[in-house]
Structure 1
Amino acid sequence: MSPERAEQIAVSALIWLSTNEDLLPLFLGASGAAAEDLRGLANSPAFLASVLEFITMDDAWVMAFCDAETIKYEEPLMARYALPGAEAVHWT
């Protein structure tokens, strides 16, 4: 997946998350971001990666987001790996 496509998915995820009354406060608490800063942070690939990391923590969230955006369930995680910071993941 290209970084550009990954950013598109992440921005869509941020928009979806910002309209979710249940998940938005959880994300803000976990990320330390303020609701009024989200628009400006949408230009940061690292912040967008954190949005995808948050959503991919729960299969139900992934499914809800993907169903709303009509994308495949594996795309948010693929997008996460295409954004900065994923290369630091080591499984051994």
Structure 2
Amino acid sequence: MTRQTAETFAAQVLAWLADDNARITGFLSWSGESPSTLAARLTDPGFLLAVIEFLMTDEALLIDACAALGYPPETPLQARSALPGGADFHWT
């Protein structure tokens, strides 16, 4: 997955989160963001990484998002790896 594809996926996930008050409230609480800053942060790779990481905190949410957006469930991990700072760390 390319960085651009990962960024597009993260933006789609954010839009999907925003379509439901409970989902977006959960993200805002988890991230510390405010509704007024979301649009401005869409070009920030660190913010987009946070969107993906939030999605990955809840398997049911991840599966629902991927199904709604038409992506396979492994897409968030692939997107995370393609974004700056999202590479998996191996401690062994």
* Shorter-chain TM-score above 0.5: yes
- Gap regions ≥5 residues in structure 2: none
| 1:88 CA displacement | 6.3
Q: What is aligned with 2:20?
A: 20
| 1:89 CA displacement | 2.8
The alignment partner of 2:64 has SS state of: helix
Q: What is aligned with 2:60?
A: 60
Provide TM-score, normalisation by structure 2: 0.92
Tell me how large the CA RMSD over aligned residues is: 1.3
- Cα deviation per residue 1:27-65 (whole Å; 9 max; x = unaligned)? 111111101111111111110000000001111111111
Moved >2 Å (runs of 4+): 87-92
The alignment partner of 1:5 has SS state of: helix
**Identity, % of aligned positions:** 37
Partners of 2:80 and 2:87 within 8 A in 1? no
Q: How does 1:69-88 map to 2 (within 5 A)?
A: 69-87=69-87
Q: How many residues align?
A: 92
